Copies of this chain bind each other. A is one copy, B any other.
Amino acid sequence: MGKVDENKKKKKETLFNSAYELFITKGINSTAISDIVERAGVAKGTFYLYFKDKYDIRNKLIAHKTHELFRAAKLALDTAPEPVTGLDEQLIFIIDHIIDTLVLNIPLLNFISKNLVMGALRSVLLTGERTDNDFYEIFLKMVLEDTYEYLDVDVMLFTIVELAGSAGYNSILYSEPLPIEQYKPFLYRSVRLIIDSHRVRPV
């Protein structure tokens, strides 16, 4: 990569970081592009060299952050001291890891969620961003390697993601109807039931 390209990438990254910090601090509506470029230390015009507008950078940011969450969860799964076996345990492990991360990073939860958690998660999981790590492929692989056979895998994943995302969001943020730690057993029971209902039979 040439020095110019490097510089270009650095500028973009700086804008990315500035935007993220401002978005989670002040919210999107109250963050002006001038705030972003000021914090990034670049000129206003430069912003428009890399992003279309505020919502462009926001969307890319959400996708990026969601990606990171899943990547970290998958990594933890793969490097767990004791191997986690069974699709249900594996999915719950991932959900649990993400929840635990977000509990410690409420601003991130707020940022992602306020901007339609579910859409974002889904985009990562089901449709989108098949760039570096293809999570959809990863999930399919997990499904295939399981001892059970599954029907309507897409539907299953979708249902779980929606439930966990939505219920998790509210439970973490508002401790309603229960604080997340107390709600987890219920959530995971439901996840198991959903998975189970998609099983055909042991292979």
Which residues of A are in contact with B by a Cβ distance under 8 Å? 29, 114, 116, 118-119, 122, 126-127, 152, 154-155, 157-159, 162-163, 165-167, 169-170, 176-178, 183, 186-187, 189-190, 193-194, 197
Most B C-beta atoms less than 10 A away, residue of A152, A162, A189: A162
Closest to A168 in B: B162
Stoichiometry, as copies per complex, reads: 4
In the complex, the 5 A-B pairs of residues with the closest C-beta atoms, listed nearest first: A166-B166, A154-B177, A162-B167, A162-B166, A193-B193
Find out whether the CB atom of A122 lies under 8 angstroms from the CB atom of B186. no
B29, B119, B157, B176: the one contacting A122 at CB < 8 Å is: B176
Q: Choose one: B118, B127, B190; the contact of A159 (CB below 8 Å).
A: B190
Apart from A162-B163, A163-B163, A163-B167, what 12 extra A-B contacts exist at CB < 8 Å? A114-B116, A118-B166, A118-B169, A122-B176, A127-B176, A154-B177, A158-B167, A159-B163, A159-B190, A162-B170, A190-B194, A193-B197
